[in-house]
A and B are shown apart, each in its own frame.
Chain A
Amino acid sequence: MADVHAAGHTILVVGGGISGLTTAVEAAETGYNVLLVERDPHFGGRVAQHNQYFPKLCSPTCGLEINYQRIKNNPRIRYMTLAEVVDIQGAEGDYTVRIRKHPRHVTEACTGCGECSKACTVEVPDPYNFGMNTVKAIRNNHAMAFPVWFHMDPEYAKSEEAQKVAKVCPVGAIQPEMQAEDVTEKVSAVVWATGWKPYDAEKIRPYGFGQYANVTTNMRFERMANVYGPTGGKIVRPSDGKEARNVAMIQCAGSRDHNYLPFCSRICCLASMKQASYVRNQYPDSKVTIFYIDLRAMDRYEAFLQKTRADQGISWIKSKPARIEEDAQGNPVVIGENTLTGERYAMPFDLVVLATGMEPNSAQAGKVPYQGAAYDDYGFVTGGVLSAGCAAYPTDVASSVQSATAMAMKAIQVAGRRG
């Protein structure tokens, strides 16, 4: 058995969200070498943008921290951030992959002291908060960001100020002239764990996202409820900053819909219940109305549905709203038919949250750069490489971890095979 334990073949894990992190640490702790490649400057992916997990209403940072510690303590894991796999050749057991390392403009010598950010005068829309606020053009995304190294926006790197800011760094880590660079690696297994992105809510025309200020999306709302979000955690109307005490959550905004995403995104019902608790906890006199077709609180999450149902401040309307209008006060008005009573409603709210679904990153720009890759009709990866978590099917954190651990198993079977 010792030969298995000592297997030197490397497993490439693409994507450093909860799925990729899990595959990486589980495979590495079983004794295999892992190369973990993340497109963003920091790990954590979508879960790092979440305020809390359902059903425990705990912070994703807690589990991420343990996984980061496991990476920090494990020399078997090599990682690259701001890097993308651009080409895969070969076959299972013997792949050659080309990885493009985008310029961070900050080297790994960075100690995270923050002097550069202080010196920088240019602010840019914050992608971490979906552009709802601005941040310095050189920064790290949040206080728990891992790796801790700062990163500089590529446009800013070209500016004169970038040169000045570079001189502020006490350890000389800032390099505005840094260029993209391709590296080639030999790996024996590839696990694709590139996750998902929120469906573009502007495409759902009848709901007026992008047109009405007080119609937002679940992921934006998640950031709003977070202490490091654009409002420091205060739930307000984007139009006037007033407290949002009467909030609607619309399920299947984009999901289960032939016009948008025909599949069910699985997590939105539960995420909305969780977000209802944010509102209810922040404002005890608040009201939340959840519009739904079917409440999909799968298996043990049923308890969370029952717990949420017990809150008298939350109402439920079985209906897919037809459209949203705006009244003179800037209140979004949700219009539709209650399918249980047959009555039509037109209800004004302070804020409407669209529970937009998951679009696999592999559906578009994040396609697997491998000839043998296979997808289903929706762009989820079904073959050619191993796929974990939401790259394979829309799902929640627990089942992403389940999938990612299973893919670690499939990967070590390949990596452990001796040629």
Chain B
Amino acid sequence: MSAVKKIGCYFCTGCGIGDALDMKALKAIATKEQKIPVVKEHAFLCGPEGVAMIRNDLENDGVNAVIVAACSHREKTAEFRFDIELFDRVDLRDKCLWMLDVKEGDETAEEDRQMAAEDYLRVGCVKIKKMNVPDPFLHSDGSRDVLVVGGGLAGLTAARDIALAGYQAVVVEKAETLGGKMNNMLKVTPDNRPPYRDLTDNFIGDLISQVEGDNRIKIFKNTVVAKTAGQPGRFDVTLKSGGTPLDIRVGSIVVATGFDLYDPAKLPGNLGYGASPDVVTSAEFEKMAKAGQIVRKSDGKPAKRVAFALCAGQRDKAHLDYCSGACCIYSMKQALYVIEQYKQEASTFLIYQEIRTPGQMEDFYRRAQDEGAVFIKGDVAKVTASSGGGVAVEVKDHLLRGTESLDVDLLVLATGMVTTVDTIDPNVASQIGAARDELPGSVLNLQYRQGPSLPRLGEAGFPDSHFICFPYETRRTGIYVAGPARRPMGIAATMTDASGAALKAIQAVEAVAGGAAVHPRSGDLSFPSYRAEGCTQCKRCTEECPFGAINEDDKGNPLFNPARCRRCSTCMGACPQKIISFANYSVDMISSMIKEIEIPEEDEEKPRILMFACTNDAIPAMDMMGRNRGKISPYIRIIPLRCMGSLSLVWIADAMSKGFDGVLLMGCRHGDDYQCHNVRGSALAEVRLSKVSETLDRLKLESVRVKMMEVNIMDADTLPKAIDAFVEQIAKLKPNPYKGF
């Protein structure tokens, strides 16, 4: 849209704004100083009449850019929802009336408040002047198909759901059959589906037929993904199966590669794997049960006495430090197999640390007990092969407080699940007819500058980014992980998880088709572009992007993939040349906003402190503070940032040379339990800040003038004190000597 910008600025005088502020002066600034062509006010702007006034100007007066000068941008969003891109809010109520420490009747303080309101108005005006309408990133050759990697329970469930939602799915399975680990399973535990006490028949065959019979689902068996290039909406994926690679285009990807069992050879020696053929893993036991006869491996005699060692190599720093969540229930199921086969002659023991049968699965625990399974809280101390077959298990019994020797025909080790989100079993090579060294290095083999794998977080390496509130979000846009590849889980949870991931995949293709961002800035149509001639190939943008959105050409120039971008603008902050910008957010825009704030002369003794606040957590926290009428100094001016990751050091230089006495940055908590919605934004800002002393030294200013605070959204009550402390610290310094330059 290249139409001439016609800005309308609409003041609300309600909620006490008209009483507290000199509206005449504000309007004069808008009209005369800022040259805004349409300036109006209303006593109840969010009411039907006020909104109609704005709508009328949009429809009949050619206004195409709107400033609403009223309350916080978080309030009255439904009322102030206009079908225009150039829109901004100037917060007079929350940020001036509610949170500034001004006693009514104190003329000086009221004057300070007025100055704040005028500054916010100037900032708002210059912001909308600098804002351009984003031209969404669209492509005509995009795809809405979803690639599902893995044809086990998670993959099949995802593919089926994608098809049922009316989309096309492509399933890639490395083996020659679909079904994955479920194929080996005799019966299925109920998990959270009633009746909770009963095992059900393995249904994977039905699911396979359903998927194979659906013409919306294309299936590639004996196939792996050789590489994945491109971006959401048009991922160009090369499939490898035998000789000729096949290129397909898909819109988004569900990774459902499932799990491997922890290598039993690595298990601690006390568990006795390898000591006797009668020590088996639960997977080996399941295969045997499926084949029909539960027998001792050593001599083929019936295995009527069977012990199950839970948490084998799990919850153990030296092995898997997590719990797989499903093994207690799985082992109970296997105990039931033994009881089913040998009836009264069966003796089954579950040696456990904690029995974990959450939710309604407590019913299944009771069922196992009712059938006669014996639960022993203890540790397996030693396992020795018995001369006549079977093994002797030495158990440290925690409840009977002694060491007991348990003679059993079989000891079954409940080994844990290891994600395969990034590993390709070398045995696949023969299946797909390739040499081992021809296998791709990772499941998707992403052609991303930041590497071929999905980034994994934490010690255990789960491939997600905000697993409590937004568990499906990975750090690669349009790629979602489902099932035990994402996190250890049982059968019912896997199916639920796959449905959810499939929805996210569909959501991503739809968003991308409209040029919009997905979570957390859902719907944002802006995306980064850069001025190529200014680039010094420093690679900071390509390195720092939390979502791997930017590739590099041979010379080190950035290659933006807008559909991979989450619009956090970390790249913009990273760029020392200030050449990366968004249509509606840029270094120049914020710089101009800073410069628009008036700095009183030194002798007026009115210091100015600039605060950059993250719009995700810090700004809501400030709003909450305002709502509770928590007070801060009227000398502070707040500029919201999309994310601290967009912080450009030049803004600090701008603020200092403009005469601000201090700069306070409020970003989200970082570290292991980070809260930054863009994962690394606030952490990167902190790193950048470590270099700010150079700027300050150059200006011969004290380093304490710039401070970063980690703010939690619930810090509303502690913010005034923390901010006061900074204001006091600044007050102790001499005024910034650059005032008035």
Cβ-based interface call for A282 (8 A): no
| Given A401-B471, A405-B504: A66 in contact with B520 (beta carbons within 8 A) | yes
Which residues of chain B have C-beta atoms less than 8 A from A409's C-beta? Answer: 161, 165, 499-500, 502-503, 506
Task: Say whether A56 contacts B673, CB under 8 Å.
Answer: yes
Q: Which stretch, A36-44, A177-185, A236-244, A388-396, touches the partner chain B?
A: A388-396
Task: Say whether A408 contacts B503, CB under 8 Å.
Answer: yes
A372 to B682, CA, bound (A): 50
1/0 contact string of A109-135 vs chain B (CB within 8 Å) = 101111000000000000000000000
Nearest Cβ in chain B — how far from A132, in angstroms? 18
Within 8 A of A (CB), among B270-318: 315, 317
A395 to B378, CA, bound (A): 28
Task: Say whether B469 contacts A112, CB under 8 Å.
Answer: no
Nearest Cβ in chain B — how far from A255, in angstroms? 8
Which residues of chain B have C-beta atoms less than 8 A from A377's C-beta? Answer: 194
Task: Say whether B358 contacts A298, CB under 8 Å.
Answer: yes
A171 to B42, CA, bound (A): 12
A381 to B10, CA, bound (A): 49
A391 to B673, CA, bound (A): 29
Which residues of chain A have C-beta atoms less than 8 A from B194's C-beta? Answer: 376-377, 382
| Given A4-B167, A29-B507: A303 in contact with B321 (beta carbons within 8 A) | yes
1/0 contact string of B497-515 vs chain A (CB within 8 Å) = 1111111101100110100
1/0 contact string of A295-333 vs chain B (CB within 8 Å) = 111111111001000000000000000000000000000
Cβ-based interface call for A98 (8 A): no
1/0 contact string of B710-729 vs chain A (CB within 8 Å) = 00111011000000000000
Within 8 A of B (CB), among A347-396: 376-378, 380, 382, 392-395
A173 to B399, CA, bound (A): 65
Which residues of chain A have C-beta atoms less than 8 A from B196's C-beta? Answer: 376
Task: Say whether A416 contacts B166, CB under 8 Å.
Answer: yes
Task: Say whether B165 contacts A402, CB under 8 Å.
Answer: no
Nearest Cβ in chain B — how far from A44, in angstroms? 12
Cβ-based interface call for A57 (8 A): yes
A111 to B236, CA, bound (A): 50
Give 27 A-B contacts (CB < 8 Å), ordered by A residue.
A5-B513, A26-B507, A27-B503, A29-B507, A58-B675, A59-B712, A61-B620, A62-B616, A66-B469, A70-B522, A72-B78, A73-B523, A144-B713, A170-B14, A171-B14, A262-B362, A262-B363, A266-B359, A299-B322, A300-B462, A340-B399, A342-B401, A393-B359, A405-B472, A406-B499, A406-B500, A409-B502
Tell which of A59, A301, A382, A398 touches B471, judged by Cβ atoms closer than 8 Å: A398
Give the bracket for the number of chain B residues in contact with chain A.
35 or more
Which residues of chain A have C-beta atoms less than 8 A from B398's C-beta? Answer: 340
Which residues of chain B have C-beta atoms less than 8 A from A65's C-beta? Answer: 616-617, 620, 713
Nearest Cβ in chain B — how far from A399, in angstroms? 7
Nearest Cβ in chain B — how far from A335, in angstroms? 20
Most chain A CB atoms below 10 A, which of B14, B359, B466, B624: B359
User: A145's closest neighbor in chain B, by CB?
Assistant: B627
Tell which of A1, A66, A294, A416 touches B354, judged by Cβ atoms closer than 8 Å: A294
Which residues of chain A have C-beta atoms less than 8 A from B468's C-beta? Answer: 53, 56, 58, 63, 397-398, 401
Cβ-based interface call for A263 (8 A): yes
Most chain A CB atoms below 10 A, which of B15, B78, B496: B496
A295 to B352, CA, bound (A): 12
Cβ-based interface call for A89 (8 A): no
Cβ-based interface call for B477 (8 A): no
A18 to B506, CA, bound (A): 21
Within 8 A of B (CB), among A225-254: 227, 232
Cβ-based interface call for B369 (8 A): no
Which residues of chain A have C-beta atoms less than 8 A from B15's C-beta? Answer: 111, 113, 170
Task: Say whether B354 contacts A62, CB under 8 Å.
Answer: no
| Given A299-B322, A405-B503: A171 in contact with B677 (beta carbons within 8 A) | no
Which residues of chain B have C-beta atoms less than 8 A from A296's C-beta? Answer: 354, 356, 358
Nearest Cβ in chain A — how far from B641, in angstroms? 15
Task: Say whether A111 contacts B324, CB under 8 Å.
Answer: no
Cβ-based interface call for A211 (8 A): no
Nearest Cβ in chain A — how far from B326, in angstroms? 8
Nearest Cβ in chain A — how far from B337, in angstroms? 23
Task: Say whether B500 contacts A302, CB under 8 Å.
Answer: no
Task: Say whether B76 contacts A111, CB under 8 Å.
Answer: yes
A406 to B192, CA, bound (A): 14
Cβ-based interface call for B200 (8 A): no
Which residues of B are in contact with A by a Cβ distance under 8 Å? 14-16, 44, 46-47, 71, 74-78, 81, 144, 161, 164-167, 192-194, 196, 315, 317, 321-325, 354-363, 398-399, 401, 458-460, 462, 466-472, 487-489, 493, 496-504, 506-507, 510-511, 513, 518-520, 522-523, 616-617, 620, 624, 627-628, 669, 673, 675, 677, 712-714, 716-717
Which residues of chain B have C-beta atoms less than 8 A from A4's C-beta? Answer: 165-167
Task: Say whether A109 contacts B47, CB under 8 Å.
Answer: yes
In order of increasing CB-CB distance, the 3 nearest A-B pairs are A63-B469, A405-B500, A299-B325
A66 to B598, CA, bound (A): 33
Which residues of chain A have C-beta atoms less than 8 A from B164's C-beta? Answer: 413
Tell which of A27, A58, A298 touches B323, judged by Cβ atoms closer than 8 Å: A298
Number of A-B contacts (CB under 8 A): 237
A101 to B472, CA, bound (A): 34
| Given A262-B362, A402-B493: A59 in contact with B503 (beta carbons within 8 A) | no
A413 to B216, CA, bound (A): 14
Nearest Cβ in chain A — how far from B568, in angstroms? 13
Task: Say whether B144 contacts A1, CB under 8 Å.
Answer: yes
Task: Say whether A412 contacts B165, CB under 8 Å.
Answer: yes
Which residues of chain B have C-beta atoms less than 8 A from A75's C-beta? Answer: 81
Task: Say whether B470 contacts A300, CB under 8 Å.
Answer: no
Cβ-based interface call for A31 (8 A): yes
Task: Say whether A299 contacts B487, CB under 8 Å.
Answer: yes
Task: Say whether B469 contacts A29, CB under 8 Å.
Answer: no
Known: A4-B165, A65-B713, A412-B506. 19 other contacts (CB 8 A): A3-B166, A25-B522, A26-B504, A29-B511, A30-B506, A58-B673, A61-B713, A65-B617, A66-B616, A72-B78, A144-B624, A264-B358, A266-B358, A299-B322, A299-B489, A340-B398, A340-B401, A393-B359, A409-B499
User: A66's closest neighbor in chain B, by CB?
Assistant: B520
Which residues of chain A have C-beta atoms less than 8 A from B165's C-beta? Answer: 4, 409, 412-413, 416
Which residues of chain B have C-beta atoms less than 8 A from A96's C-beta? Answer: none
Task: Say whether A30 contacts B673, CB under 8 Å.
Answer: no
Task: Say whether B499 contacts A410, CB under 8 Å.
Answer: yes
Task: Say whether A299 contacts B500, CB under 8 Å.
Answer: no
Nearest Cβ in chain A — how far from B299, in angstroms? 36
A174 to B161, CA, bound (A): 47
Which residues of chain B have C-beta atoms less than 8 A from A393's C-beta? Answer: 192, 359-360
A311 to B395, CA, bound (A): 28
Which residues of chain B have C-beta atoms less than 8 A from A306's C-beta? Answer: 317, 321
A56 to B674, CA, bound (A): 8
1/0 contact string of A72-83 vs chain B (CB within 8 Å) = 111100000000
| Given A4-B165, A66-B469: A402 in contact with B620 (beta carbons within 8 A) | no
User: A67's closest neighbor in chain B, by CB?
Assistant: B469
Nearest Cβ in chain A — how far from B83, in angstroms? 9
A56 to B459, CA, bound (A): 14
A72 to B194, CA, bound (A): 38
Cβ-based interface call for A148 (8 A): yes
Which residues of chain A have C-beta atoms less than 8 A from B466's C-beta? Answer: 63
User: B71's closest neighbor in chain A, by CB?
Assistant: A111
Which residues of chain B have C-beta atoms less than 8 A from A297's C-beta? Answer: 323
Tell which of A66, A294, A339, A403 touches B356, judged by Cβ atoms closer than 8 Å: A294
Nearest Cβ in chain B — how far from A305, in angstroms? 8
| Given A58-B675, A66-B616, A409-B502: A263 in contact with B14 (beta carbons within 8 A) | no
Nearest Cβ in chain A — how far from B542, in angstroms? 27
Cβ-based interface call for A197 (8 A): no
Nearest Cβ in chain A — how far from B589, in angstroms? 21
Which residues of chain A have C-beta atoms less than 8 A from B81's C-beta? Answer: 75
A226 to B568, CA, bound (A): 31
| Given A63-B469, A262-B362: A111 in contact with B675 (beta carbons within 8 A) | no
